[in-house]
């Protein structure tokens, strides 16, 4: 990453210990946010308040760990949120990809099954739509900070990037499978989704693309099509969608996370992520060339080798220097001519040339 850090001793064992501590802090922050939201606001505002508190605790806690344990000068940026040129375009790129995945799944559901959609005309429902929008933005940001932030980076230092991608994808799939109503299909679909999101982070060294993709995938289904997300279809007060069709196509009441259709689309998404982040990968992952070793003067070395073999060469004569100014006219030298052998005597001028 381009974030400035102070060099400290960073062994694999030390990084693994920091990963375990960060993982413990995540579950602690999650419990604190949940109980804090229960005691602060009413039932309808609890989801948004809980996610806001969780994001705040994660940012604060992981920044403190990065600053104190790793001497990170800019710990928020080091978590994957650098305010660099074009970061909003990166978020928009991920948002478009996430919306595209949701649109493909919804189109397949409508084509091979069906979706009954109802829209609420109430004005208050449109106000709650903004609340749901903020909820999904915070929900996805919290997931990115947890599964691709400080803990992921420490685990990648301890086991390598491939180990971190595999381990955190398994963790995410396990937690998703613990949701009431989840199935084995939920676990494998969540695993592939986590692999794609981790790939987006590693290719860009930031969370902007993965955050936008995660947000687009979840919010598009809930807010635009009124579908269930992780078994909850109460997020959108404006649009309600009721899909019909086989379970492998719709995922039933749990949502697309439990459908084999989403699993296939997620598999196809991985190479798309690799392709669309090609320029960002070149910009932020190309190793910086740092000069090292002893400077060598190639010309001086060749000249010294030549003198050892042929002997010292005589110094070259000094170059000629023109003293006269360049604007002075160049006068051709006058060449004296030899006198004639028999010169004729001068005759007086009589004024009459015809008498000669």
Work out the percent of the chain whose per-residue pLDDT is above 70: 78
pLDDT tens digits for 17-36? 999 999 999 999 999 999 99
Q: Which long-range contacts (CB under 8 A, 24 or more apart) does 262-269 make?
A: 262/105, 262/189, 263/185, 263/188, 263/189, 263/192, 265/101, 265/104, 265/105, 266/101, 266/189, 266/192, 266/193, 266/196, 267/192, 269/97, 269/101, 269/192, 269/196
Find tokens 């635009």 and name the residue.
Answer: 224
Find tokens 């003067």 and name the residue.
Answer: 297
Return the pLDDT at 176. 94
* Distance, CA of 294 to CA of 153 (rounded, Å): 35
pLDDT at 329 over 60: no
Return the pLDDT at 12. 93
Mean local confidence (pLDDT), 223-239: 84
pLDDT tens digits for 103-133? 999 999 988 888 888 887 777 777 788 889 9
For residues 169, 57, 181, 273, the Cα torsion angle rounded to the nearest 10 degrees is -40
pLDDT at 296 over 70: no
* Distance, CA of 284 to CA of 270 (rounded, Å): 20
Cβ 176 vs Cβ 252: under 8 Å:
no
Every domain of the chain and the residues it spans = 83-285
pLDDT tens digits for 164-212? 999 999 999 999 999 998 999 999 999 999 999 999 999 999 999 999 9
Return the pLDDT at 261. 94
pLDDT at 309 over 90: no
Pair of tokens at residue 249: 């196509």
| pLDDT tier for residue 42 given thresholds of 50, 70 and 90 | confident
Pair of tokens at residue 164: 């971190």
Return the pLDDT at 210. 97
Give the residue among 82, 68, 53 at the shortest CA–CA distance from 22. 68
Return the pLDDT at 256. 92
Cα 170 to Cα 162, 174, 187, 193, 252, distances in angstroms: 12, 6, 8, 11, 23
Instruction: Provide the strand spans (E) within the chain.
Output: 114-119, 239-244
Return the pLDDT at 190. 96
Mean local confidence (pLDDT), 29-45: 92
The average confidence (pLDDT) of the chain is 84
Cα 223 to Cα 35, 47, 98, distances in angstroms: 27, 15, 13
Cβ partners under 8 Å of residue 270, min gap 6: 192, 195, 196, 199
């Amino acid at each position: 990453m381009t974030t400035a850090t102070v060099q400290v001793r960073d062994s694999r064992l030390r990084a693994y210990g920091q990963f375990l501590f960060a993982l413990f802090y995540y579950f602690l922050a999650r419990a604190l946010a949940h109980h804090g939201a229960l005691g602060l606001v009413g039932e309808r505002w609890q989801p948004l308040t809980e996610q806001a508190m969780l994001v705040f605790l994660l940012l604060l806690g992981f920044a403190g760990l990065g600053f104190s344990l790793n001497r990170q000068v800019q710990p928020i940026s080091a978590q994957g949120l650098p305010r660099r040129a074009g970061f909003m375009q990166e978020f928009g790129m991920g948002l478009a990809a996430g919306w595209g995945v949701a649109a493909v799944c919804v189109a397949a559901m409508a084509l091979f099954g069906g979706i009954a959609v109802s829209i609420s005309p109430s004005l208050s429902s449109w106000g709650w739509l903004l609340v749901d929008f903020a909820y999904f933005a915070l929900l996805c940001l919290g997931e990115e900070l947890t599964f691709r932030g400080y803990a992921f980076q420490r685990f990648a230092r301890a086991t390598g990037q491939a180990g971190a991608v595999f381990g955190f994808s398994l963790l995410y799939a396990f937690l998703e499978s613990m949701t009431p109503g989840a199935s084995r299909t939920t676990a494998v679909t969540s695993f592939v989704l986590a692999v794609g999101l981790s790939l987006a982070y590693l290719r860009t060294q930031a969370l902007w693309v993965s955050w936008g993709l995660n947000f687009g995938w979840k919010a598009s289904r809930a807010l635009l099509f009124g579908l269930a997300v992780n078994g909850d279809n109460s997020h959108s007060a404006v649009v309600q969608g009721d899909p019909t069709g086989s379970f492998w196509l719709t995922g039933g009441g749990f949502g697309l996370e439990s459908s084999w259709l989403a699993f296939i689309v997620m598999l196809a998404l991985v190479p798309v992520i690799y392709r669309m982040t090609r320029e960002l990968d070149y910009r932020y992952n190309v190793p910086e060339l740092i000069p090292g070793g002893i400077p060598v003067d190639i010309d001086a070395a060749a000249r010294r080798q030549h003198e050892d073999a042929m002997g010292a060469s005589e110094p070259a004569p000094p170059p000629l220097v023109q003293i006269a100014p360049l604007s002075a006219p160049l006068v051709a030298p006058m060449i004296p001519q030899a006198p004639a052998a028999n010169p004729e005597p001068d005759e007086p001028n009589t004024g009459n040339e015809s008498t000669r």
